[in-house]
């Protein structure tokens, strides 16, 4: 095989399955799901000097970072841990509880929910920063060889989602492993010190990724924080993966620096993965918006209902992302026993219900010449396109109302149809605006999707 180089990966086309899927489900599940607690501090990003934003780890709202936050002196998580379990209660003991709880987990129920949500792929955390493994690896950490799930959670979920016709991707924390290198991260500068040094960990992490690829053939290698070792070794790993999964996806978090816009890469990648980030225009390169339904990825029992996205907010956010050349990787954080909190499940069902009526305007589409517009009444509009069809998705349209879409071109379309509707629409052209009369009953909540077919050219 030809020795891989950075250049050999740079112009790799994005696989069509990924570009068309639009929606993925991220799952953060591990022994941090036992304490399942973080402070209600909003975003991890705090204000810095001027317009800068810096991560405030002592008030980290990510429950999956429990092991780190509980060790920061004076943090709310440290106080919670002492009051609930005792100051000397070791984090690793949560593994016993987790392995007892997962006996009741039913992966088929997850797969059914994710399918109902309209997702095309799933990404599971195989090893988070605490080093606990969710699959029966042959490569155990010598410091704690039994720090591992008692079931093959990766394999069982992979089988369940594939039965539903979904693809299965895998997350791995390559840059942080507190079991190997117990560095507390209290500030952004600690990230460099937190990456385990030495060739032993490089070999350990590489063996893990190759084992995951060989056993489960993931549709994406979703690495986090960074990856140890020289660039050449990472390129070898990419080549190993692409040879076995030719239509696979590699994300951008392999060699990077932390910043509020995400992890900025210095290696070729298939997709950017900004976290809790909104972009304002169509991105030239495919990207994936990564966020929880609330402010945490791991389940946070301390999170209030008003800190979760409403169904309306989730639907609108997803449409906006799709119009700007993005996919949404929306996270669920199950409890330790594998049950998904009803508020999270309800949000996924709401998104799936909307896609059931208007998914044609999302799946398999590409960005139009612009992503955003509005009606003369002020309703936000997002555009997508597919061959000779333009889709205009109007937020918060009222039943029985008349919409005037601003500036979508002078030429009259051949037809204007409401996705999910069962009757033709009345419409007319007024200069650069398109006026559409909506029925008194709308097929979808939160947004309606209009299909505008181009009039074929005359001969």
Backbone angles phi, psi at 321, to 5 degrees: -65, -45
Vertex 201: Cα angle to 199 and 202 (nearest 5): 60
Res. 442: pLDDT tops 80? yes
Give the orientation angle of helix 199-216 with respect to helix 231-244, to 10 degrees.
10
In the chain, pLDDT over 90 holds for what percent of residues?
80
**Predicted confidence band at 324 (pLDDT cuts at 50, 70, 90)?**
very high
Res. 257: pLDDT tops 70? no
3-state secondary structure of 429: strand
What is the C-alpha to C-alpha distance for residues 412 and 54, in angstroms, rounded to an integer?
50
Res. 311: pLDDT tops 80? yes
pLDDT in tens, 13-66: 999 999 999 999 999 999 999 999 999 887 776 655 455 565 689 999 999 999
Res. 121: pLDDT tops 90? yes
Among 40-54, 244-258, 398-412, name the one with the lowest average pLDDT: 40-54
Which residue in 164, 115, 118, 22 sits closest to 352, CA to CA? 118
pLDDT in tens, 346-373: 999 999 999 999 999 999 999 999 999 9
In the chain, pLDDT over 70 holds for what percent of residues?
92
Arithmetic mean of pLDDT over the chain: 92
Length of the chain: 459
* Distance from the first to the final alpha carbon of the chain: 52
3-state secondary structure of 269: coil
pLDDT in tens, 176-220: 999 999 999 998 888 888 989 899 999 999 999 999 999 999 999
Q: Which residue has tokens 């208007």?
A: 358
Domains of the chain, earliest start first: 16-361 (3.20.20.80), 372-453 (2.60.40.1180)
Q: Which residue has the higher pLDDT, 49 or 401?
A: 401
Q: How many helices (H) and strands (E) does the chain have?
A: 12, 19
Take residue 56 and report the two structure tokens written for it.
Answer: 């405030």
Q: Which residue has the higher pLDDT, 153 or 413?
A: 153
Let me know: does 281 contact 324? Beta carbons within 8 Å: yes
- Other beta carbons less than 10 A from residue 246's beta carbon: 8
What DSSP element (H or E) covers 1?
none
Which residue in 129, 158, 127, 153 sits closest to 140, CA to CA? 127
Among 94-98, 266-270, 290-294, 311-315, name the one with the lowest average pLDDT: 266-270
């Amino acid at each position: 095989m030809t020795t891989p180089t950075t250049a050999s990966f740079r112009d790799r086309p994005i696989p069509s399955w990924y570009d068309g899927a639009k929606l993925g489900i991220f799952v953060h599940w591990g022994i941090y799901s036992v304490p399942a607690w973080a402070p209600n501090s909003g975003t991890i990003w705090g204000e810095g000097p001027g317009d800068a934003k810096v991560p405030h780890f002592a008030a980290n709202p990510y429950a999956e970072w429990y092991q780190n936050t509980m060790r920061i002196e004076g943090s709310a998580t440290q106080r919670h841990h002492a009051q609930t379990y005792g100051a000397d209660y070791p984090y690793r003991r949560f593994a016993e509880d987790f392995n007892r709880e997962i006996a009741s987990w039913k992966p088929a129920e997850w797969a059914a929910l994710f399918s109902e949500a309209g997702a095309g792929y799933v990404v599971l955390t195989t090893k988070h920063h605490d080093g606990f493994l969710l699959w029966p690896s042959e490569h155990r950490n010598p410091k704690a060889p039994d720090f591992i799930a008692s079931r093959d959670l990766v394999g069982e979920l992979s089988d369940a989602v594939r039965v539903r016709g979904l693809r299965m991707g895998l997350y791995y924390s390559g840059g942080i492993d507190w079991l190997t290198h117990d560095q507390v991260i209290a500030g952004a500068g600690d990230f460099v010190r937190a990456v385990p040094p030495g060739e032993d960990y490089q070999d350990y992490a590489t063996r893990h990724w190759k084992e995951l690829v060989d056993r489960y053939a993931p549709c994406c290698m979703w690495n986090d924080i960074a990856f140890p070792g020289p660039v050449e070794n990472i390129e070898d790993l990419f080549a190993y993966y692409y040879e076995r999964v030719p239509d696979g996806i590699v994300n951008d978090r392999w060699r990077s620096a932390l910043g509020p816009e995400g992890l900025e890469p210095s290696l070729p990648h298939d997709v950017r993965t900004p976290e809790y980030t909104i972009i304002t225009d169509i991105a030239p390169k495919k990207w994936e918006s990564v966020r929880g339904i609330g402010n945490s990825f791991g389940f946070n029992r301390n999170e209030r209902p008003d800190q979760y996205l409403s169904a309306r907010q989730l639907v609108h956010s997803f449409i906006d992302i799709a119009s700007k050349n993005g996919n949404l990787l929306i996270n669920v954080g199950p409890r330790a026993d594998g049950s998904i909190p009803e508020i999270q499940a309800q949000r996924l069902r709401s998104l799936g219900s909307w896609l059931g009526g208007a998914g044609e305007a999302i799946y398999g589409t590409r960005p139009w010449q612009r992503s955003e517009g509005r009606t003369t009444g002020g309703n936000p509009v997002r555009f997508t396109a597919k061959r000779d069809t333009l889709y205009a998705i109007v937020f918060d349209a009222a039943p029985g109302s008349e919409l005037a879409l601003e500036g979508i071109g002078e030429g009259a379309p051949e037809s204007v149809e409401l996705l999910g509707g069962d009757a033709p629409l009345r419409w007319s052209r007024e200069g650069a605006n398109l006026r559409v009369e909506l029925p008194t009953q709308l097929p979808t909540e939160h947004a309606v999707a209009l299909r505008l077919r181009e009039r074929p050219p005359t001969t």
